[in-house]
Amino acid sequence: MTHARAVVARTAGALAVLVALVALGACSSEPQGANADPSLVDSTEVPELGTCRVLTPDDVAQPANATRTVPCTERHTAETFAVGELPDELDDAAYDDQAVGRYAYETCSTRFAEFVGADESLVLRTMVSWAWFRPSEKAWDEGARWYRCDIVGGNGASETYRPLPQTAKGLLAGRPADKWMVCAAGRTVTEGDKVPCSQPHDWRAATTIKLGEPDDAYPGDQVVASRTKSFCSTSIEAWLNYPARFEFAYTHFHRAEWEAGNRRSVCWARTSD
């Protein structure tokens, strides 16, 4: 008989989707930093696609960003993979309108997956993530309505970002290198540090469960948790090739993430591989 012992993780701030959600809700008007390009600070022009920057988690926490660009052949932690004008129906939106955030989330998340060559499951299990930016409040008041999506070399738990390759296009295609996949080092997933799987670790984000379709209503925290736990037990047992004993953990999200577009939970396997 197989014996499973569940170690439950109920939040996953380290995962890519939460970086997007933090950026979605950002409405601070903090200065854009000493490394800002004056010509970009209040620019009303749509940003340039394919530019690279050295961004930090503090930069990503802001709604707008005018950090100087650097050649992509040099060290950088961010690359702009999508830009564009917001739809006409958002012309009269307030600067921090949640409808703007929802549009950016849906657009950037779709384009991010295409850019790095990942499916929905892989996107939630990687060390890289994305952030989006809007114009400054001054530029917004002048009519600017653009968005910028950047891939960054880290996630919501990262204190610093890792350098990216010259271009991150196709970074997760095929079988991604362990240095770009998320693992956890510690007694539990919740308490452990999120680290690249190329480093010593105790847990690996191995699979995900899809809990609903885009138009489905949120089923509630209890249903989400129950379905996630049941699926992850079966999924991780199979992923580990049906061992006599195994440990698993799971991460499920809540209404805010559901309403932003996320329909998946993450299953973690206790393993050093």
Q: pLDDT per residue over 64-97, tens digit each?
A: 999 999 999 999 999 999 999 999 999 999 999 9
* CA gap 260, 254 in Å, rounded: 10
Average pLDDT value for residue range 167-184: 95
Give the pLDDT of residue 18. 41
- Tell me which of 5-14, 80-89, 243-252 is least confident: 5-14
Nearest of 114, 127, 150 to residue 23 by alpha carbon: 150
Helices 98-116 and 16-25: angle between axes, nearest 10 degrees = 150
Q: pLDDT per residue over 26-64, tens digit each?
A: 444 455 667 899 999 999 999 999 999 999 999 999 999
Nearest of 46, 36, 5, 14 to residue 251 by alpha carbon: 14
Query: What region, left, alpha or beta, does residue 129 occupy, with left being phi > 0 and alpha being psi -120 to 50 degrees?
Result: beta
Identify the three-state secondary structure at position 52. strand
Give the pLDDT of residue 19. 39
* CA gap 16, 156 in Å, rounded: 7
Task: List, in sequence order, the alpha helices (H) in 26-164.
Answer: 38-41, 57-60, 98-116, 120-123, 137-141
Average pLDDT value for residue range 7-28: 40
Query: In this model, does residue 165 exceed pLDDT 60?
Result: yes
Give the pLDDT of residue 214. 87
Percent of the chain residues topping a pLDDT of 70: 88
Q: Where are the beta strands (DSSP E) in 110-171?
A: 129-133, 146-152
* CA gap 248, 180 in Å, rounded: 21
Q: What is the dihedral of CA 36, 39, 41, 44, to 10 degrees?
A: -150
In the block, residue with structure tokens 């379709």? 213
Element (H, E) at 236: helix 221-239
Average pLDDT value for residue range 177-193: 93
CB 249 within 8 A of CB 270: yes
Q: Which two tokens stand for residue 61?
A: 């926490």
pTM of the model: 0.84
| Radius of gyration in angstroms for the set of CA atoms belonging to the chain, rounded to a whole number | 19
Query: Given pLDDT bands bounded at 50, 70 and 90, which one contains residue 156?
Result: confident
Query: Given pLDDT bands bounded at 50, 70 and 90, which one contains residue 259?
Result: confident
Instruction: Give 12 or 144, the one with higher predicted confidence.
Output: 144
Average pLDDT value for residue range 215-226: 94
Average pLDDT value for residue range 18-24: 40
Give the pLDDT of residue 33. 66
Q: Mean pLDDT score of the chain, rounded to an integer?
A: 88
